[in-house]
Amino acid sequence: MEAFETLLSIAQRKARFDKTSNWSNGAETYINEIKNEVDEVLEELPKGRICYLEDELGDLLWDYVNTLIALEEEKGVSVESVLKRACRKYDQRVSGIESGKQWQEIKEIQNVMLAEEQASK
SS3 content of the chain, % helix, strand, coil (to 5): 85, 0, 15
For residue 21, pLDDT over 80 is answered with: yes
Closest CA to 59 of 46, 48, 74, 44: 44
Is the pLDDT confidence value at 1 over 80?
no
Q: Looking at residue 72, what is its pLDDT?
A: 95
pLDDT in tens, 56-87: 999 999 999 999 999 999 999 999 999 999 99
Q: How many Cβ atoms are within 10 Å of 33's Cβ, its own excluded?
A: 17
pLDDT of residue 14: 93
- In CATH terms, the fold of domain 1-77 is Helix Hairpins (1.10.287)
DSSP 102: -
To the question of pTM greater than 0.85 for the whole model, the response is: yes
Tell me what pLDDT residue 24 has: 82
What are the residue ranges of CATH 1.10.287 in the chain? 1-77
- The answer on pLDDT for 17 being more than 80 is yes
The set of residues, in sequence order, having a beta carbon less than 8 Å from that of 53 and lying 6+ positions away, is 41, 44, 45, 47
